[in-house]
Chain A
Amino acid sequence: MLTIENLHARVEGKEILKGLNLEIGSGEIHAIMGPNGAGKSTLSNVLSGRGGYEVTQGRVIYQGKDLLAMSPEERAWEGVFLAFQYPVEIPGVNNAYLLKAGLNAKRKYLGLQELDAMEFMSMVREKAATVELDAAFLSRSVNEGFSGGEKKRNEIFQMAVLEPSFAILDETDSGLDIDALRVVAGGVNQLRSPDRSMMVVTHYQRLLDYIEPDVVHVLMDGQILKTGDKSLAKVLESRGYDWVRAEARS
């Protein structure tokens, strides 16, 4: 699905990713953990095409294609989805309009028939229910006045509508209460499928109790310093990160 080779990336002249390698297979869920400021969001942003990041070395192959050569919207049409750590509010742009425009742009790109308003609305209502999002949110402006938890729920709802092949969840669990966490994780689990992969960025092992990862990575010092199975998350929870660096150095 996704192969990252020797990725180096800078923000404002400062190198954040320093030769990162990662391979994510079809249908797999990979958790990315690591201390604050390690570069987890940087990696997520570089993969989804946000401006302001300079890739100085390396390459990313996604479904056989050069991901980094694509515009953000092309990546979306090719099935990449980013659930933002901090979803932005967009007053005056209607949620439903955005989703319909985005979904139909993707369908057009894939040579599929565009959905009409009726088909779209019934599909969207159904998906909203899976993350227990009130359908009234659809006619509101994107994220405007949403609570922190509602914003995160909205991200997963959008993911359910856009049905990506590769989803990046950047700290979707932060800011959620226990019940919301269960709902959001439930939404994510419903989307698990053999042809859909996910990269889940989190600080907490708790999320991984709900969304069971196939692989857990530690991102530190601009690289994947350690890779393990889901038990690694438990070790990190109790021991922190310093030992990972020490082990990697030796």
Chain B
Amino acid sequence: MSLDAELLHKAVAQLHGSSVHHDLRQRAVEDLLTQGFPTTRDEHWKYSDCSPLLASLGARLYHDSHPVDDVEMARLVDVESYTLHFVDGVWDKERSDLPAGITVTSYTETTDLFAPDEESVLSQGFTSLNGALASGGVMVDVAEGLSLDRPLAMMHSSSGKVAHVRHQVRVGQASEVVLIEHFSGEGAHSGLTNVVTALHLSEGARVAHYRLQQEGLLQAHIGRLAVKQQRDSHYCSHLLTLGAAWSRVDVVISLADIGANCQLNGLYLLSGRQHGDHHIQIDHLAPHCQSDTHYRGVLDGRARAVFNGKVVVHKGAVKSHSTQSNANLLLSANAEVDTKPELEIYNDDVKCAHGSTTGRLDQQQLFYLQSRGLSESEARQLLTLAFVGEVMTRMNEPALRAYVQKGCFAKLPHPLDMNMEGFL
């Protein structure tokens, strides 16, 4: 399904916003008209064919006139937070609960628009579509020197519509926040969440970011997370993909100044016919920066996962440290994964390591557990949880870790009466 220029222009014309929005939209439209949507001939979309999605959405891709169904607002049970609610990407201003030091403006009302991360090699088709059509989303400003006592949660519920959402988060100098982006919603029809989140970390800022995607199985999810890090900033991402029939997330990190470091942890648990694609690009642009990527995936049924992690150490980015690993566990014969860690280095003074593995449950370990009295299904479950536990141990917020653990536990096939007390 190719791009429909007429529908695109028509949809853009209906949007509100300032002249800054107008300019950005025009640029995005032009980009999109030149590039088009990615196809499987595009290196970074080789294993993820978006044409069936485009075909099924048709004109809804540009303008979705479906009425908004009632949706249940997602809650993070047992996690205390300041909360922003979004329905199909639209911020529900009335229900916000915000502390001093955090300023939130809706995307169409702010004039402080971040420049797009144009340097990324990852195909920009859906990002441009988002730039052209985004009406939902917010600008979040975190004041300098703020240390937020609770996480700031951005809770998204989808009613099954097509939503183009654009968030911008600027974290002031030496501030410290835990940010949650949660996506859920069990719509009656299949929609698309196309979300771009741009994060700017000022000097010395520290952000722990939980991006939890638990959308319904009729939904498609395309996300781009673009992080720009200033001097000595620290960014820790915990990315969880459990939901959506078809999902693609691009994480683009720019270590722009001396001493910036990032830790990217990821977990995808896919079953049935789910398709989940994660692409990461980290640019080391300055000296003394560090990046550590650790993604794990569990695939059951006929699920398909794609992992591509690329680290680019640019000229002048001396004393760079980078590690990258991706491990996959296949629970069924029909599950499939394509994994590719990549490294491009343009100077000598660096330390880098990367690798990926794909395997199945270890028969010897299974037998050992069974011989101690665990049923086969319990043993399988336990070994699978141990595999994903490796990522969870890196989550420093206990309430969020417990929430993620429960989500994973519920997603994995397990005996109903299995008692996880003491393991979690």
B383: which A residues are within 8 A, CB to CB? Answer: 90, 93
A25 contacts the other chain (Cβ, under 8 Å)? no
Interface residues of A in 170-216 (CB under 8 A from B): none
Once the chains are docked, how many angstroms separate the CA of A81 from the CA of B372? 7
> Taking the nearest CB of chain B, how far is it from the CB of A9, in angstroms?
16
Residues B386 and A92 in contact, CB atoms below 8 Å apart = yes
Interface of A is mostly: helix
Residues B385 and A73 in contact, CB atoms below 8 Å apart = no
B299 contacts the other chain (Cβ, under 8 Å)? no
Once the chains are docked, how many angstroms separate the CA of A94 from the CA of B28? 52
Residues A105 and B369 in contact, CB atoms below 8 Å apart = no
A13: which B residues are within 8 A, CB to CB? Answer: none
Residues B367 and A50 in contact, CB atoms below 8 Å apart = yes
Residues A105 and B373 in contact, CB atoms below 8 Å apart = yes
Contact with A98, one of B363, B374, B385, B389 (Cβ below 8 angstroms): B374
Residues A73 and B373 in contact, CB atoms below 8 Å apart = yes
Contact with B372, one of A49, A50, A76 (Cβ below 8 angstroms): A76
Residues A71 and B368 in contact, CB atoms below 8 Å apart = no
Interface residues of B in 372-402 (CB under 8 A from A): 372-376, 378, 382-383, 385-387, 389-390
Residues A98 and B372 in contact, CB atoms below 8 Å apart = yes
B371: which A residues are within 8 A, CB to CB? Answer: 48-50, 72-73, 75-76, 81-82
> Taking the nearest CB of chain B, how far is it from the CB of A154, in angstroms?
11
Known: A91-B386, A92-B386, A92-B389. A101 touches B373 (CB 8 A): yes
Known: A71-B370, A76-B373. A93 touches B422 (CB 8 A): no
Q: Nearest chain-B residue to A107 (Cβ)?
A: B373
Interface residues of A in 90-119 (CB under 8 A from B): 90-94, 96-106, 117
Once the chains are docked, how many angstroms separate the CA of A76 from the CA of B371? 6
Q: Nearest chain-B residue to A45 (Cβ)?
A: B367
Residues A71 and B373 in contact, CB atoms below 8 Å apart = no
B389: which A residues are within 8 A, CB to CB? Answer: 92
B365 contacts the other chain (Cβ, under 8 Å)? yes
> Taking the nearest CB of chain A, how far is it from the CB of B366, in angstroms?
9
A77: which B residues are within 8 A, CB to CB? Answer: 373
Residues A96 and B385 in contact, CB atoms below 8 Å apart = no
Contact with A101, one of B367, B378, B390 (Cβ below 8 angstroms): B378
Contact with A73, one of B363, B365, B375 (Cβ below 8 angstroms): B375
Residues B372 and A84 in contact, CB atoms below 8 Å apart = no
A105: which B residues are within 8 A, CB to CB? Answer: 373-375, 378
B34 contacts the other chain (Cβ, under 8 Å)? no
Residues A97 and B370 in contact, CB atoms below 8 Å apart = no
A82: which B residues are within 8 A, CB to CB? Answer: 371
Known: A92-B386, A94-B423, A97-B423. A102 touches B373 (CB 8 A): yes
Residues B363 and A51 in contact, CB atoms below 8 Å apart = yes
Residues B370 and A72 in contact, CB atoms below 8 Å apart = yes
Q: Nearest chain-B residue to A52 (Cβ)?
A: B363
Once the chains are docked, how many angstroms separate the CA of A90 from the CA of B386? 8
> Taking the nearest CB of chain B, how far is it from the CB of A140, in angstroms?
13
A96: which B residues are within 8 A, CB to CB? Answer: 422
A246 contacts the other chain (Cβ, under 8 Å)? no
Residues B368 and A87 in contact, CB atoms below 8 Å apart = yes
B19 contacts the other chain (Cβ, under 8 Å)? no
A88 contacts the other chain (Cβ, under 8 Å)? yes
A162 contacts the other chain (Cβ, under 8 Å)? yes
B386: which A residues are within 8 A, CB to CB? Answer: 90-93, 141
Once the chains are docked, how many angstroms separate the CA of A141 from the CA of B363? 18
Once the chains are docked, how many angstroms separate the CA of A106 from the CA of B373? 6
Residues B369 and A93 in contact, CB atoms below 8 Å apart = yes
Interface residues of A in 43-88 (CB under 8 A from B): 48-52, 71-73, 75-77, 81-82, 84, 87-88
A100: which B residues are within 8 A, CB to CB? Answer: 422
A158 contacts the other chain (Cβ, under 8 Å)? yes
A50: which B residues are within 8 A, CB to CB? Answer: 367, 371
B419 contacts the other chain (Cβ, under 8 Å)? yes
B364 contacts the other chain (Cβ, under 8 Å)? yes
Contact with A72, one of B362, B367, B378 (Cβ below 8 angstroms): B367
- A–B complex contacts, Cβ < 8 Å, 11 sampled: A49-B371, A50-B371, A72-B367, A81-B371, A93-B382, A94-B423, A98-B369, A104-B419, A106-B373, A141-B386, A162-B372
Interface residues of A (CB under 8 A from B): 48-52, 71-73, 75-77, 81-82, 84, 87-88, 90-94, 96-106, 117, 141-142, 158, 162
List 3 A-B pairs, minimum CB-CB distance, nearest first.
A92-B386, A102-B373, A102-B372
Identify 16 new A-B residue pairs, CB closer than 8 A, beyond the known A51-B367, A72-B370, A90-B369: A51-B363, A73-B371, A73-B373, A76-B372, A77-B373, A91-B386, A93-B382, A94-B423, A96-B422, A98-B372, A101-B374, A102-B369, A104-B419, A105-B373, A105-B375, A106-B373
